[in-house]
């Protein structure tokens, strides 16, 4: 931009560069405090003891009113020695609140591979099956340990490339890190 608009844009840009953003997107939903209180109860810890261990001044139940940052939840997990709370603190899930759901009209939804109209509920949302024959690639995930607790393949998972229009199919064995809810490469023997 040139002229008066360019000068105004430069002034605004210098103002914006000075602002430190605080978007609060690095928080875990406030409901996590229910789990914190449950763990405190299991440990026989009072709110006063908990807040003292956290190194904060006692403020009653006010601590439970706001969604904690991951950093704060990490400190809470350390104080309570809770792997489950630590998982909430270190995972890469971005939590956001659904502000509204609005109707967008009515459309026919169906699965061409199943006779009739079928759908299912996933996490409270009605969804429909995808049409497999239109997919370029289909990958299945199998963890034997999920079905057999005493599986000799504990900590392993199979990524089964069942369909690949432009390449080979195969089964890839990966390590399952349940405490982080993620998969990683298996160490290969040499």
Per-residue pLDDT of 62-120, as tens digits, reads: 889 989 998 999 999 999 999 999 998 988 777 777 888 888 888 876 555 555 555 65
pTM value > 0.85: no
Which pLDDT value is given to residue 173? 92
Out of 71, 97, 123, a domain closes at: 97
Question: Residue 45: its pLDDT value, please?
Answer: 94
Q: CA separation (Å) from 184 to 42, 93, 115, 151? A: 33, 17, 38, 19
Co-location of 91 and 14 in the same domain? yes
Same domain, 59 and 139: no
Give the end of a domain, one of 70, 97, 124. 97
pLDDT at res. 124: 62
In a domain, residue 139? The reply is yes
Assess whether pLDDT exceeds 50 at residue 54. Answer: yes
Q: Are residues 3 and 90 in the same domain?
A: yes
Say which residue, 141 or 92, is predicted with more confidence.
Answer: 141
Taking 70 as the threshold, does the pLDDT of residue 162 lie above it?
yes
Q: How many domains does the chain have?
A: 2
Q: Which domain holds residue 62?
A: 1-97
| In the block, residue with structure tokens 């009209």 | 105
Number of alpha carbons in the 13 Å side-chain half-sphere of residue 60: 2
| Start-to-end CA span in the chain (Å) | 61
The answer to whether residue 183 scores a pLDDT higher than 50 is yes
170 belongs to a structural domain: yes
Token pair for 31: 């409901």
Query: Is 77 inside a domain boundary?
Result: yes
Residue 190 reports pLDDT greater than 60: no
């Amino acid at each position: 931009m040139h002229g008066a608009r360019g000068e105004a844009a430069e002034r605004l840009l210098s103002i914006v560069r000075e602002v430190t953003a605080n978007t609060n997107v690095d928080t875990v939903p406030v409901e996590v405090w229910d789990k914190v209180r449950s763990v405190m109860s299991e440990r026989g810890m009072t709110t006063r003891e908990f807040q003292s261990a956290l190194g904060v001044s006692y403020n009653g139940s006010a601590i439970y009113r706001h969604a904690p940052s991951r950093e704060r939840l990490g400190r809470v997990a350390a104080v309570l020695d809770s792997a489950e709370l630590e998982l909430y603190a270190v995972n890469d899930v971005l939590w956001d609140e659904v502000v509204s759901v609005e109707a967008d009209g009515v459309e026919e939804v169906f699965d061409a591979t199943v006779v009739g109209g079928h759908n299912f509920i996933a996490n409270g949302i009605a969804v429909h099956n995808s049409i497999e024959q239109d997919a370029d690639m289909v990958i299945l995930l199998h963890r034997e340990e999920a079905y057999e607790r005493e599986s000799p393949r504990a900590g392993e998972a199979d990524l089964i490339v069942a369909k690949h229009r432009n390449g080979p199919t195969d089964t890839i064995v990966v390590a399952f890190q349940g405490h982080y809810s993620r998969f990683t490469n298996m160490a290969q023997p040499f």
